[in-house]
Structure 1
Amino acid sequence: MKFITIIPCLLLVAGCNAPDQDRSGEPPTTAEAADADSLRFADADTDAAPFAAPPVFRAQVRLDRLGFSPGVIDGKEGESYVAALRGFQNARGLEESGELDPATERALQEGGEAPAMRMVVIPAGFAKGPFVPAFPKDAADQAKLPALGYRNLTEALAERFHTTPEVLVALNSPSTLVGAGRPFRVPNIPDVDVPVMGEDPRGWNGTLERLGVAPKQIAAAKIVVDKSEGVLKVYDEADKLVAQFPATMGSRHDPLPIGTWKIKGVSRNPDFHYNPELFWDVSDSKEAVVLQPGPNSPVGVVWIDLNKPHYGIHGTSEPHTIGRAESHGCVRLTNWDAARVAQMVKPGTPAIFQN
């Protein structure tokens, strides 16, 4: 997506620990989940029958937790899943088959095997929103909203657990009630340590927690956006592949700008200055407007600015389209993957865009 102006540009405080998102300490209690402001998902005390996760679903959860994102966790053997397997295999020195062979399965269990699903209690703080049930399609109407929030709790839960509302319905049932204090089956994307990043005027700490993204991530020495593979790769100082994320990049109208660029800065929960004149598929008669921050912003929850004018790396309001649609030239990731990349890069990080 071509970019007009996003404000403000908040600089990154990078961490450098391993990127797995397991939180330390004991899991939250049911009482903690019932707290009015809690975003912590306690284990549910329920008699619900176990749900056996198929191998692909299990692998997707582990890949996500280890930093090799399959995009949305849906149990399907799509292109993003195969790319995630190849990236993980490359990073572990395995044959890059793109298949869930025995050696890859063993490597995915490093650090101990965890169940692919959890029954959780929906915390009160998470359930209270605010939500925007009648989310408008037109930018002029979106500009009237105080924030571009989720449409409903199910959509918010889907982003928190890196999946889709449709998958959540399948894991539970169409009749399952969704609300504070209710048990709910989700992919096992764990709670993270409560983010505390100093001054936080844009609410980034809460955004990370609501997306299940740890504030401390391994530091990127460079990122590579590979058009042929449809992924964004993260390398460390030893030039080792340490993370990978599926991406939507460019179109015939706005091709990916091939070349070596640099990260200028990171805007978290940014405003979006929407200028129809910069979009080939929008009438120039439309009015330019400013859209408030939120996960359903056209750039999602974060904008990573490049030294190529009007281009950047950002999130999306439609995670299921990543790798399956075109962009307006920029690199688009799911909100949870974009947030993770934002915690890895800093101003000056090289960004190599290649065919």
Structure 2
Amino acid sequence: MTRLPALALVLLLALPGPVQAAGLDPQAVEQAQSFAQGDGKAIDPAMIRLQVLLDRSRFSPGVIDGLAGDIVRKAIAAYEVANGLDGKDDAALLQALAAEDGKPVLQRYTISEKDVQGPFVMKVPDRLEDMAKLAHLSFTSPRELLAEKFHMDEDLLEALNPGADFARAGSGITVAQVAARDEKETVTRIDVVKGQGALYAYDAQDRLVAFYPASIGSEGTPSPTGTHEVSAIAPEPKYYYNPKELNFSGVKTKDLLEIAAGPNNPVGTVWIDLTEPTYGIHGTPEPALIAKTQSHGCVRLTNWDAEELSKMVKKGTAVTFME
């Protein structure tokens, strides 16, 4: 059996220092050859390049924000184990990642009419009871839509496009060039590691083919134990809260709640149902919080990671929960 990636810190060569958002230069992103281990508070052009390349390789950094942090380190460690790298040379890591498709990491994109026409919601309510009153759980703005479309944090989108009007169709903006690939990998086994906040996906040859950061359970609503299976896949799911089965903190209703589909639905844009009742792998309305907050027992990924995984699994795929 393939060993899970060790989470030892990867030795990284440092740049003179992370560049503040106001000074972001797309060319600096494309030309970066080493990346800093910064404080996670300042955007580093090389970290943007690294995150985009990891995203395209299926070793997800979560949301692309240009910031150093534990999620990126875990994605690096997983990629290096899967690809036989020694973890000592970030230039070699970037070279290996870039060689996979040879494409630039940023692109110019023209905002379309579809991007701005909505419908949008003014604000996503905090309470499930109020969510259930809405006809849809869409994005709150074209900016949020565009950030998610390109797997980016909204602050990074702004930093790359200072002064841009994201609500104007025909405007040109700079965004991450993420993959829109036809999935050919078949995942036959998934390991969900609670202590790492991570999901590892393996193929039939027991090769690690994908890594995704995840929010997994909590003390009040823990995730399952043992091995279960994928039972169904539901794109654009509605969310149902049954107080007879669930008892979430702060939810007072005694009635069954039906919450409309949409990217800001509590389970995001896809639900991968498990044979353990009420549990699944799903998306999220808050991608920046993945692996940083707890879930209601399920396995929560970014919407784009959950969508990608849903195309690689099928009914019967084994899902094992580990401490």
Which stretch of the first structure deviates more once superposed, 300-309 or 272-281?
272-281
**CA, structure 1 residues 100+183, in 2 after alignment: closer, same or farther (shift >3 Å)?**
farther
Give distance in 1, aligned partners of 2:272 and 2:194: 18
Give distance in 2, aligned partners of 1:56 and 1:144: 41
Residue 80 of structure 2 corresponds to residue 89 of structure 1: yes
Residue 152 of structure 2 corresponds to residue 163 of structure 1: yes
Equivalent position of 1:61 in the other structure: 52
TM-score when normalising by structure 2: 0.83
- Per-residue CA distance 1:164-205 (angstroms, 9 max, x = gap): 2111111111x2111211011111225x3xxxxxxxxxxxxx
Q: How does 1:215-254 map to 2 (within 5 A)?
A: 215-254=182-221
Contact 2:26 / 2:160 at 8 angstroms: preserved in 1? no
Give distance in 1, aligned partners of 2:183 and 2:224: 30
Q: 2:262 aligns with which of 294, 319, 342?
A: 294
Equivalent position of 2:227 in the other structure: 260
Equivalent position of 1:177 in the other structure: 165
Residue 308 of structure 2 corresponds to residue 340 of structure 1: yes
**1:136 positional shift:** 2.8
* Percent identical residues: 41
What secondary structure sits across from 2:85 in the alignment? coil
Q: 1:142 aligns with which of 118, 126, 131?
A: 131
Equivalent position of 1:79 in the other structure: 70
Give distance in 2, aligned partners of 1:217 and 1:127: 32
**CA, structure 1 residues 349+235, in 2 after alignment: closer, same or farther (shift >3 Å)?**
same
Contact 2:201 / 2:209 at 8 angstroms: preserved in 1? yes
Equivalent position of 2:97 in the other structure: 108
Unmatched 5+ stretches in structure 1: 1-48, 193-213
**CA, structure 1 residues 183+309, in 2 after alignment: closer, same or farther (shift >3 Å)?**
same
Contact 1:249 / 1:330 at 8 angstroms: preserved in 2? yes
- Per-residue CA distance 1:36-89 (angstroms, 9 max, x = gap): xxxxxxxxxxxxx75522221101100101111000001111111111101110
Equivalent position of 1:197 in the other structure: none
Give distance in 1, aligned partners of 2:248 and 2:138: 26
What secondary structure sits across from 2:159 in the alignment? helix
Contact 1:276 / 1:282 at 8 angstroms: preserved in 2? no
TM-score when normalising by structure 1: 0.75
**1:228 positional shift:** 2.6
**CA, structure 1 residues 265+324, in 2 after alignment: closer, same or farther (shift >3 Å)?**
same
Unmatched 5+ stretches in structure 2: 1-24, 30-44
Give distance in 1, aligned partners of 2:147 and 2:322: 32
**1:285 positional shift:** 4.0
Residue 178 of structure 2 corresponds to residue 189 of structure 1: yes
**CA, structure 1 residues 130+284, in 2 after alignment: closer, same or farther (shift >3 Å)?**
closer
Equivalent position of 2:12 in the other structure: none
Q: What is the alpha-carbon root mean square deviation over aligned residues?
A: 1.9
Equivalent position of 2:28 in the other structure: 52
Equivalent position of 1:42 in the other structure: none
Equivalent position of 1:328 in the other structure: 296
What secondary structure sits across from 2:28 in the alignment? coil
Q: 1:351 aligns with which of 312, 319, 323?
A: 319
Contact 1:61 / 1:116 at 8 angstroms: preserved in 2? yes
Q: How does 1:298-309 map to 2 (within 5 A)?
A: 298-309=266-277
Give distance in 2, aligned partners of 1:217 and 1:139: 37
**CA, structure 1 residues 132+241, in 2 after alignment: closer, same or farther (shift >3 Å)?**
same
User: Which fold has the larger relative contact order, with Cα–Cα distance below 8 Å and residues 6 or more apart in sequence?
Assistant: 1
- Per-residue CA distance 1:266-286 (angstroms, 9 max, x = gap): 111111112345133124346
Equivalent position of 1:128 in the other structure: 117
What secondary structure sits across from 1:337 in the alignment? helix
**1:115 positional shift:** 2.1
Give distance in 2, aligned partners of 1:304 and 1:50: 37
